[in-house]
Structure 1
Amino acid sequence: MSKTRFYETVTACDECDHLHVIPPLKSGERFKCGRCQHVVLSVHEHVEGRILGTVFSALLMLSLALVFPFLGFSSRGVERSSTLLGSVDVLIGQDYLILGSIVCLALFIFPAIYLFSLLVLFWSFKHPDISLNARRHLTRWVVAIQPWLMVDVFLVGALVALVKMRSLADIELGLSFWAFCGYVVLLIRTVTLVDRRWLWNKMSGAAPNHVIEDKQHPDELKTAKLHSLIGCHFCGAVSPNSHSHCSRCGHSIHSRRPHSLTASIAFLIAAVIMFVPANVFPIMQTTFLGGSEPSTIMGGVFLLWSLGSYPVALVIFLASVVIPLTKILSLSWLCWQCYYPTEHDILKKVWLYRVTEVIGRWSMIDVFVVALLAGVVQMGNLISILPGQAVLSFAAVVILTMLSAVMFDPRLLWDKEDEIMQASKGDDK
C-alpha cells in the first residue's frame, strides 16, 4: 500500500482563488481545482531519488556539452569546429554582448542555478542545522527561475540552424551536441518532477490550518478572498489578509497582484512597439564568397520554403510570426475581459491564458538560431553570419510578452465572472 507523501490543510488555487482542503496524497496522485481544473499539486513516486538522479545526470551532461565540440562544418576545403562556450565568446568578442548574455543565461547560468539550488536544498533536508532563511532563498530561486529555462527551445533552434547551414557547408555533429540533447531531456524531466507546493511542504512542513466551512452555504464554492484569506503564489500556504508576508515562506503576499492589469498592458504596448523593428529590419546578415545578403524574419521563412525545408519554414513562421502576434492579441483580449467581460465561457478564457503562458517562450527559436549561426559560422569573406538589427528587438518582444503574461492575474477574470453571477441572481430576485 502506498505511503502518504503529502500532508496539507488548506490551499488556494493560483488561477481562480478557490479554497481547497487537500486530502492526504499518496505517491503518483494529483490534486486538481474543482472550479477551474488547474493542477494544484502533483506528488510523484520516489520523487526525492528521481530528482537527485536527474539533477546529477543533467549536470554531468552539461559538463560534457561544454567540453567537447558542438558543431563542425567545412566549406570549399576550409574546416571549423566550435564549442557552445566558444560560440558565446565569439558573440561577445564581436560586441554582441546582450545577445551573448541572453544565450549564456538561458543555456548555462539559469539552469546551473536551478540544478545546484535543488542539490543544496535536498542536502539541507538531511542537515536541519542549515538555516531556514537560507533554504527559503534557495527554494525561491527554484520557483522563480523555472519559467525562464529555455534549453529545449535552444535545441529546436539548433536543429533549424543545422538545416540553414546545410545549404552553405557540410555539417558534422560533435559529441557535445549529443550530450546537450541528453542535458535537455534530463533538465525537462527534473522540472516536471519538482512541484513547488510539495517542495515547500517537504522543507517547512504543512501550512497553517484555517477553518473554511460555510455553515449557511456548505456546498457553495468559496474563494480565499471571500474568507479574508490570501493564497501565497510561492508556496501555496494560506494566510489571513491582515498579513503582508507568507507565514511559511516569507514571501510578500497579495489577494490580487498589485497593478496587475496596468503592468500587463504596459508590457504589451512595449512589445507591440518592438514588434515593428523586429519585422522591418534584418535579423541576420549572411556573407558568402564576398557577397553580403541581409535577411528579415519573413525572408528567412521564404528562403527555407524555397529550399524545400517546409517543416522548418513552418516552425519558424509559427514561432516568430504567429505565436508573438497571437500572444499579443490574446493577452490584450484577456485584459479587456477584466474591464468589460463578455458572455464567453470563463473556462475558455482561462484555457486561452494557460496556452498563451506556455507557448510564449517558443518564439525565442529565431533568436537562438541567429545566435548559434553567428557564433559558429565565421570564416571571413568565404562564409560568415552576423546578427542583424532586428534580433534584439525580437528578443525584447518575446521577453516583454512573457513578462506581460507573468504580471496578468487570471483571478481577475474569475472576479468579474462572480460579479456577473451575483448581478444575475439579483435580477432574478
Structure 2
Amino acid sequence: MTQTIGPDDLAQLIACPNCDELYQARLPDEGERAVCHRCHTVLIQTRETAGRRVLALSIAVMILVIAAAFFPFLEISAAGIGNRVSLLDVATSFRSGTLVLVSVASVMLIVLVPLIRTVLLIYVIGPIELHRPPARYAKRAFHLAQELKPWAMTEVFSIGCAVALVKVSDLARLHFGPAFWMFAALSIFVLINDRYLCTWSIWNAIEDTQ
C-alpha cells in the first residue's frame, strides 16, 4: 500500500476518505484489511460472503425502519394518566410555529434518510450478489447512499432516547412498545452493516461489470 505510484497506475489509486492520502489499491488476503497509515481508517476489507450479509442486513433494516415508524414506541403513565406514541408521533409532535422545522428534520433524519439509504444499498448490491449486471444508475445510487450516511442519525437518536428515558424514569412509569425493540435492533444492524460494507469492493464490482 505504500509503493511509489507511476502515471500508469492512476486507475488503481484509492484515497482515504478521512485524510485524502493516496494509495495503490491492492486486494488484501481473505480476512485481512488495508488500513491508512496516516489516520488508520480501514480502506479495503475482505470477508467471505460479506456482500450477502450486507444485502440481508439492508433488507432487515428496511423492514425494521418501516415497522418501527408505525408501531407503538413508548407508553408513559403517571398519576393514572397514560399516553402511547409511535416514532412518527414523536417526530411530528410540533406541528405549528418555528418548531415545525424540528419535526420535519426529525422525520427526515430518523426515518426517511435511513430508509432511502438502505433502499439505495439494496438497489446497488442486489444485482451484484445475484451475479447480474449492475442496476441502471448504480454509480449515482451508491454515491448518493454514501453521501447520505452522515445524515442517517439512527444511532444518535438511540443515544438521545437512552439519556431521556433515564431522566424520565424517575417521574413516570415507562412501557416499551414493539417499535422500541425494533429500533434497538435496527441501530445494531446499521452498525454491523456499516462494518461489513466495503465501499472499494462495491465500486470495483460496478466498474468491472460495466
Q: TM-score, normalised by structure 1?
A: 0.43
Q: CA separation in 2, counterparts of 1:157 and 1:49?
A: 31
Give the conservation status (yes or no) of the 8 Å contact 1:27–1:46.
no
Correspondent of 1:186 among 180, 184, 189: 189
Letter in 2 for 1:128: P
Shift of 1:143: 1.1
Q: Does 1:22 align with 2:39?
A: no
For 1:9, the equivalent position in structure 2 comes to: 12
Higher relative contact order by CA 8 Å / sep ≥ 6: 1 or 2? 2
Distance in structure 1 (CA, Å) of the matches to 2:119 and 2:41 = 29
2:125 and 2:202 in contact (8 A); partners too: no
For 2:149, give the aligned amino acid.
Q
Computing the radius of gyration from Cα coordinates, the structure with the larger value is 1
| Count of matched residue pairs | 198
| Structure 2 counterpart of 1:46, from 40, 49, 63 | 49
SS where residue 92 of structure 2 aligns? Answer: helix
Q: Does 1:112 align with 2:112?
A: no
Which residue is equivalent to 2:175? 172
CA contact (8 A) 1:68 1:175 kept: yes
CA distance in 2 between counterparts of 1:124 and 1:171 reads 44
Matches of residues 2-401 of structure 1 in structure 2 within 5 Å?
Answer: 9-15=12-18, 17-93=20-96, 96-125=99-128, 126-128=131-133, 130-131=135-136, 134-205=137-208
Match of 1:287 in 2: none
Seen in structure 2, the aligned counterparts of structure 1 residues 26 and 177 have a Cα distance that, compared at 3 Å, is: same
Distance 1:29 1:120, change over 3 A: same
How far is the alpha carbon of 1:111 from its aligned partner?
Answer: 0.4
Instruction: Answer yes or no: is the 8 Å Cα contact 1:124–1:135 preserved in 2.
Output: no
Q: Partner amino acid for 1:153?
A: V
Instruction: Note the alpha carbon deviations across 1:165-195, whole angstroms, 9 max, x for none.
Output: 2233211111111111011111121122222
Q: What is the letter of the counterpart of residue 84 of structure 1?
A: L
Q: Describe the superposition over 1:182-239 as per-residue Cα deviations: whole angstroms up to 9, x where unpaired.
A: 1111112112222222221111139xxxxxxxxxxxxxxxxxxxxxxxxxxxxxxxxx
- Tell me how far apart the structure 1 counterparts of residues 23 and 157 of structure 2 sit (CA, whole Å): 38
Structure 1 residue matching 2:93: 3-state secondary structure: helix
Using the alignment, how far apart are the partners of 1:94 and 1:68 within structure 2?
27
User: Distance between the aligned counterparts of 2:170 and 2:97, measured in 1?
Assistant: 24
Structure 1 residues 71-121: Cα deviation after superposition (integer angstroms, max 9, x where no partner): 101121111111111122222256621111221121111101110001111
How far apart, CA to CA, are the structure 2 residues paired with 1:99 and 1:113? Answer: 20
Shift of 1:152: 1.1
Query: For 2:176 and 2:113, how far apart are their aligned partners in 1?
Result: 25
Structure 1 residues 127 and 97: CA distance shift in structure 2, 3 A? farther
The aligned residue for residue 264 of structure 1 is: none
Q: Contact conserved, 2:64 with 2:186, CA < 8 A, in 1?
A: yes
TM-score, scaled relative to structure 2? 0.83
Would you say the 8 A contact 2:27–2:44 is kept in 1? Answer: no
Provide the rounded CA distance (Å) in 2 between the counterparts of 1:15 and 1:178.
Answer: 33
> Take 2:175 and 2:76, find their aligned partners in 1: how far apart are those partners?
6
Q: Give yes or no for contact 1:10–1:19 (8 Å, CA) kept in 2.
A: yes
Instruction: From the superposition, tell whether residues 82 and 197 of structure 1 become closer, same or farther in structure 2 (CA, over 3 Å).
Output: same
Given that 2:124 and 2:134 are in contact with CA atoms closer than 8 Å, whether structure 1 keeps it comes out as: no
Q: Distance in 2 between matches of 1:14 and 1:162?
A: 35
Structure 2 runs not aligned, ≥5 long: 1-10
Q: Displacement, 1:22?
A: 3.1
**Cα 1:12–1:57 shift into 2, 3 Å:** closer
